[in-house]
Amino acid sequence: MGERKKRIAVLISGRGSNMKALVEASRADDYPAEIVLVISNKPDAAGLEFARSRNITAVAIDAKAYQGRAAQENAIHQALVDHNIELICLAGFMRILTEDFVAKWPGKILNIHPSLLPKYPGLNTHQRALDAGDKKHGCTVHIVTGELDAGPIVAQAEVPVLPDDNAESLTARVLIEEHKLYPKALKMVAGE
Residue-level pLDDT at 2: 54
Residue 3's pLDDT is 72
CATH number of the domain within which 123 lies: 3.40.50.170
- pLDDT at position 1: 43
Q: How far apart are CA 170 and CA 7, in angstroms?
A: 33
- This model's pTM is above 0.85: yes
- Residues of the chain falling short of pLDDT 50: 1
Which pLDDT belongs to residue 173? 97
* Range of the structural domain that residue 149 is part of: 6-190
Total number of domains constituting the chain: 1
Answer yes or no: is 47 within a domain: yes
The 136-143 sheet, strands edge to edge: 57-60, 33-40, 6-12, 87-90, 109-113, 136-143, 153-160
Instruction: Give a yes or no: residue 1 inside a domain.
Output: no
Active site residues: 113
62-69 long-range Cβ contacts below 8 angstroms, 24+ apart: 63/95, 69/98
Residue 136: what pLDDT?
A: 98
